[in-house]
């Protein structure tokens, strides 16, 4: 009986860790409010909490087999992040994986990054409940400006 159920899994189905799934869903919703369609069925992206002692990043967008993209979040850092910073981290990595955004280290006059897509090397952002909408507008609407 187990073989029957295992055989029903779609080949292109990609797993998203239960702790990451709400952020994937809210990413999709936030994009929709800005007129951007995020369809994880057409462009599957996985999500994992992973321990990789050779990596010091909080998270990264990984490509396996040249096609499958996976948001990988370092399990060592995940529990110490606030829910808002967890959201920002997943959105940043989905910015790479789904929106195909590169790092953007532009700063404002106070030296704060203008985008959550910053590298973390030059500036830091001011992502909070008060600034969240501005950062998400930049995240999703920047791709519109850059498309012909």
Residue 72 in domain: yes
Residue 126 in domain: yes
**How does DSSP assign 77-134, residue by residue?**
TGGGS-HHHHHHHHHHHHHHHTT-------B-TTSBBS-TT--SSS-B---STTTHHH
pLDDT digits (tens, 9 = 90+) for 52-97: 888 888 999 988 766 679 999 999 999 999 999 999 999 999 999 9
Report residue 147's pLDDT band, with 50, 70 and 90 as the boundaries: very low
- Looking at residue 55, which CATH number applies to its domain? 3.40.390
Given a cut of 50, whether residue 146 has pLDDT beyond it is no
Residue 1 in domain: no
Given a cut of 50, whether residue 6 has pLDDT beyond it is no
Residue 136 in domain: yes
Residue 5 in domain: no
Given a cut of 90, whether residue 121 has pLDDT beyond it is no
CA-CA distance, 45 to 13, in Å (whole number)? 9
How large a percentage of the chain has pLDDT more than 70? 84
Residue 22 in domain: yes
Q: Which residue has the higher pLDDT, 114 or 3?
A: 114
> Structurally, how many domains does the chain consist of?
1
The mean of the pLDDT values for the chain is 86
Residue range of the domain that includes 75: 10-146
Residue 55 in domain: yes
Given a cut of 80, whether residue 144 has pLDDT beyond it is no
């Amino acid at each position: 009986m187990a073989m029957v159920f295992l055989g029903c899994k779609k080949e292109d189905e990609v797993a998203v860790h239960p702790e990451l799934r709400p952020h994937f869903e809210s990413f999709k919703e936030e994009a929709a409010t800005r007129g951007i369609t995020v369809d994880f069925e057409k462009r599957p992206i996985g999500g994992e909490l992973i321990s990789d002692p050779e990596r010091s990043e909080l998270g990264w967008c990984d490509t396996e087999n040249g096609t499958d993209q996976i948001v990988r979040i370092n399990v060592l850092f995940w529990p110490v992040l606030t829910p808002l910073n967890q959201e920002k981290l997943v959105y940043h990595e989905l910015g790479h994986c789904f929106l195909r955004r590169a790092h953007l280290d532009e700063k404002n006059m106070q030296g704060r990054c203008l985008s959550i897509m910053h590298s973390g090397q030059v500036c830091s952002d001011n992502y909070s409940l008060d600034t969240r909408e501005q950062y998400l507008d930049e995240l999703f609407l920047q791709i519109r400006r850059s498309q012909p």
